[in-house]
A and B are shown apart, each in its own frame.
Chain A
Amino acid sequence: AQKVTQAQTEISVVEKEDVTLDCVYETRDTTYYLFWYKQPPSGELVFLIRRNSFDEQNEISGRYSWNFQKSTSSFNFTITASQVVDSAVYFCALSELYSGAGSYQLTFGKGTKLSVIP
């Protein structure tokens, strides 16, 4: 069965600091997808990135970067020069290509609450 672990429950940083959110996953499939979502206080989940298991290139998008390492089953998320608007709960999620009856179910970690202090 697939599993996603976000060991950091809560993190607090001072504005402009860099912060890395950890995500470790378990899956028996060789083909799978990994995701990061942001949940601001309003509650809606905002999609940040999708990565498939065959693409281990790291990705950078503005102040956000993602480090995917299959060898350690990790998909970590770094925010550079954090801002107060980054304060939110961040979820890592995993989807196996054929997870149960042809569906594409997402398995979520429990989330990391990030607080950026001005």
Chain B
Amino acid sequence: DGGITQSPKYLFRKEGQNVTLSCEQNLNHDAMYWYRQDPGQGLRLIYYSQIVNDFQKGDIAEGYSVSREKKESFPLTVTSAQKNPTAFYLCASSGPGTENRNEQFFGPGTRLTVL
């Protein structure tokens, strides 16, 4: 089945550690996105990538880094510089063309807790 997978589902990290969240899609989508969701808040864009080997900062990129070496994969690293990393992280992707670019499909999310 086509879709987006994120792993792990739950992740615990000690303060001062970097951690990488995985996002893989087999939808053949060009664009991929990372969002952060805090309780009672909407989703906020961290980074996005429209094509392999290219990515752009979103609204809250500080303390995060990404890579896009393959079309299918868009891992997100939460660095120790991120002041308040505990949150729910959602990955999304969208297909080619204007109409399709605007329809984002979401993965199941990773809940990160910093201890």
List chain A positions with a Cβ less than 8 A from chain B: 4, 9, 33, 35, 37, 42-47, 50, 91, 95, 97, 101-106, 108-111
Count A-B pairs with CB separation below 8 Å.
57
The 7 closest A-B pairs by CB, nearest first: A108-B42, A45-B106, A43-B109, A104-B101, A44-B108, A33-B102, A110-B42
How many B residues are at the interface, by size bracket? 20 to 34
In the assembled complex, the Cα of A105 lies from the Cα of B31 at a distance in Å of 11
List chain B positions with a Cβ less than 8 A from chain A: 31, 40-45, 48, 50, 56, 58, 88, 90, 92, 94, 98, 101-109, 111
Shortest beta-carbon distance from A70 to chain B in Å: 17
In the assembled complex, the Cα of A37 lies from the Cα of B106 at a distance in Å of 10
In the assembled complex, the Cα of A112 lies from the Cα of B104 at a distance in Å of 20
Once the chains bind, are B111 and A43 in contact (CB under 8 Å)? Answer: yes
